[in-house]
Structure 1
Amino acid sequence: MNVLSIVIQSILGLGFLMFGLMKFGAKQMVDEFNRFRLPQWFRVVTGLVEIIGAAFIIAGIWNTTFAVIGGLLISFTMVGAILTHLRVKDPVSKAMMPIILLILGLIVVVLNWSSLLV
């Protein structure tokens, strides 16, 4: 088991659990989805996807297949977040957190990918 991956997975897991739960009604998230011109049901779906990603990435500490699935789910979600920030013409600074989370998700995938081939 890769210690670096476990550290990143722990950070991503806790972060995405928090981010996902915030999507279920935090005023800031409601306002952001309005600003993004996205329907509120999509905010809830996004929250569910983030919580599922967190569960996979945390379970991946013990099962590397789950780590890869969680890393991919988080990465795809962050690609969507980055594209959303670009669509509404946010400054790059607003997209930095999704960019960093995308990179961390991809690092988890790369560090655990070889275990899928065994």
Structure 2
Amino acid sequence: YWYPAMILSAKIVCTLLALFFVATGWMKAGGHPHMIEEFDKFQLPHWLRILAGVLELIAAPLMLLVWWLPTLASLGALLVSAVMVGAAYTNFVKRPAVFGWGTLVILALCLIPALAFNPLQPLLP
């Protein structure tokens, strides 16, 4: 059971994450020099950078709808969670562990609205 204060907290987390993913998605999809440098350093293809950025830019507006259409916010949060799984793997494998742990924290935060506003939740015990 989600108490009203928990729902409010999940909505705030979702909103802050959406703003974060607008910025990071724009940087990736828009070809910011830092993102190009990072993907080059990790020897990752640039189509993957663009795809990750576009997925983040699709998910962010869905997550901003948390105040009106929470189910769509859940879908957006699931979408960026998938992106963050790849980011966590890359950061653990190709960087010092502290970067991997940071992406896991963001992944965990993404799962809060994904679970809180999951349309299947009422079907689960």
TM-score (normalised: structure 2): 0.84
* 2:8 is equivalent to residue 12 of structure 1: no
RMSD of aligned alpha carbons? 1.8
Give the letter for the 1:75 counterpart. Answer: S
Cα deviation, 1:40-78, whole Å, max 9, x if unaligned, reads 121111110111111111123211211210111111111
Report deviation, 1:115: 6.9
| Native 8 Å contact 1:71 1:105 kept in 2 | yes
TM-score by length of 1: 0.89
Contact 1:33 / 1:43 at 8 angstroms: preserved in 2? yes
**What percentage of aligned pairs have identical amino acids?**
31
Q: Contact 1:60/1:70 (CA < 8 Å) preserved in 2?
A: no
Deviates more, 1:27-36 or 1:96-105: 96-105
Counterpart in the other structure of 1:32 = 38
Q: Which residue of structure 2 aligns with residue 76 of structure 1? A: 82
CA contact (8 A) 1:59 1:67 kept: yes
- Deviation of 1:105 (Å): 0.7
Do structure 1's residue 65 and structure 2's residue 64 form an aligned pair?
no
Moved over 6 A (4+): none
Q: Which runs of 5+ in 2 are unaligned?
A: none
Q: Corresponding residue for 1:3?
A: 8
Measured after TM superposition, the shift of residue 19 of structure 1 is: 0.4
The higher radius of gyration belongs to 2
